[in-house]
Amino acid sequence: MENEKLRQTLEKNKQNYIDYLLKLASIDTHDIGHGIEGGLEAKGQDFMAELFASMGAEKVEKDPLNEESILKCKEKYREGNTGHNYENRYNVYASFCGKSKKSILFNGHIDHMPAENEEHWSIPPLSPQVIDGKITGLGVADMKAGLMASVMATKLLKDAGIELPVTVKYASVCDEEGGGNGSLCAAMSGVKADAVVVCEPTNYELLAAHMGWVFFQVEVEGIAVHSGLKLSGVNAIEKAGKLMEAIDELEHRWLLKYKHPLLPPPSSNVGVIYGGEAGSTIPDYCCFKTCVHYLPGVMSHEQVVEEYTNAILKRCEGDEWLSGHKPKITIYQTGNPFEMDLDHPFVGAFKQAYRNAVGREVTIAGSPAGCDSRTWRNIVKCPTLQYGPGSLEQCHTVDEYVTEEQYLDAIQIYANLILEWAKVCIEN
């Protein structure tokens, strides 16, 4: 009966729920320089705080991001990206009390990437519209639709006259695009719940795992001379090429050795390379940057760093120049992997909620892209799942969108999840 009441209420109020998302998507909350130079989240966070208050939240809190928390997190958990500008950047937490003290927390990030190729957009990026059933606008898929759908789930329950059976919490965070510092600050501030949903886009799949990552920078030196005197110089770009071959070979060994039922195999990608000044000069410097994605459970951060470094240094031993002029290897961003036990009752509650809302079984999958799920599972130690409207393919794209159907379905799924999680809490 409750499920039918939710359906009817959603149908009656769906335009209102869509309008809330359009309003949020019209507020510019982009990160500057991947959060290192700052972010414009404040107006969006103020909007969320006002929305929570207008819905009757018992508690609404603004929590400024700070370097001290990130340093402590990095020291204790090897997570966090230091040196970001936190001026006027703060998380917003809200809590709606239910009949039970048991709780569920919905996590979403308010920040998004700046608009690129704005001239190719069919509409102004910050003037969101519904076009052919698609809610289109900057940051909609990544991930204002997920954040707002979770909030509208509580509103849906209230609008339907259904008392919240458990306490429903929210963490609207900043600086996710800069590596997840917002949720890390929330974790260090003691935010927690009995279960957590990270509302990143999953395209109707339930994500129960994501890969870890390590960003490496490798700097190689050489000797610069005129290209006509090539034999007198040392070409740093050519030497860097040998090192890239070494890490390619390591990747192939990983591919043969490591598997995961929900995730693609581990990988290493050279994403940036630069060096040299002119075709007529032997380059005396070359730098390349890579990203390694690795699997939870069967691989570790320490192992990846050790094997990657050793592969490069071992290749140096076979080269007369490199053996005496080792490259400089540094790590400039990391994130741990995430994995959720599929036998946990929270997974069963989600499966039933999905069934109730959309009438079919949910597909459980993993994601090659990391997100804040790792923070809530690994650091806060909460049962954590990732589900939200939209798809990874729509993140950071021109004419970014989620379909109306996915957004409205997510609201209904989240509302059902609150009810189903309450049943699990009573049983246990």
pLDDT digits (tens, 9 = 90+) for 336-360: 999 999 999 999 999 999 999 999 9
Residue 238's Cβ-count burial label (10 Å; 0-12, 13-18, 19+) is: middle
pLDDT digits (tens, 9 = 90+) for 179-218: 899 999 999 999 999 999 999 999 999 999 999 999 999 9
pLDDT in tens, 291-314: 999 999 999 999 999 999 999 999
With CA atoms as reference, report the closest residue to 7 among 204, 161, 156. 156
Rg of the chain's alpha carbons, rounded to an integer?
A: 24
The DSSP line for 42-70 is HHHHHHHHHHHHHTT-SEEEEEE--HHHH
Q: Give 145-191 pLDDT, tens digit per residue.
A: 999 999 999 999 999 999 999 999 999 999 999 889 999 999 999 99
Sign of CA pseudo-dihedral 149, 132, 207, 422: positive
CA distance 146 to 201: 7
**Kind plus residue range of the DSSP H or E element containing 22:** helix 2-25
Q: What are φ and ψ of residue 239, in 5° steps?
A: -65, -40
Span 404-425, pLDDT tens digits: 999 999 999 999 999 999 999 8
What is 2-210+337-427's CATH number? 3.40.630.10
The strand pairing partners of 220, in sequence order, are: 286
pLDDT on residue 396: 85
C-alpha dist (Å) from residue 213 to 84, 175, 218, 251, 360:
20, 18, 16, 14, 33
Q: Please, are residues 285 and 238 in contact by the beta-carbon 8 Å criterion?
A: no
Q: What span, in angstroms and rounded, lies between the C-alpha atoms of 333 and 79?
A: 9
Query: How does residue 428 score in pLDDT terms, banded at 50, 70 and 90?
Result: low
CA distance 413 to 386: 13
Give the pLDDT band of residue 392 (cuts 50, 70, 90): confident
What's the chain's average pLDDT?
96
Give residue limits of the domains in the chain: 2-210+337-427, 212-335
Write the pLDDT tens digit of every residue in 243-283.
Answer: 999 999 999 999 999 999 999 999 999 999 999 999 999 99
Confidence of residue 116 (pLDDT cuts 50, 70, 90): confident
CB distance 402 to 145 below 8 Å? yes
pLDDT in the model for residue 394: 85
Q: How far apart are CA 265 and CA 294, in angstroms?
A: 8
Domain 212-335: give its CATH architecture.
2-Layer Sandwich (3.30)
Query: Beta strands of 146-211 (E only): which ranges?
Result: 166-173, 196-198, 205-210
Count of Cβ atoms closer than 10 Å to residue 67 Cβ: 15
Backbone φ/ψ region at 117: left (φ over 0), alpha (ψ -120 to 50), beta? left
pLDDT for the residue 34: 87
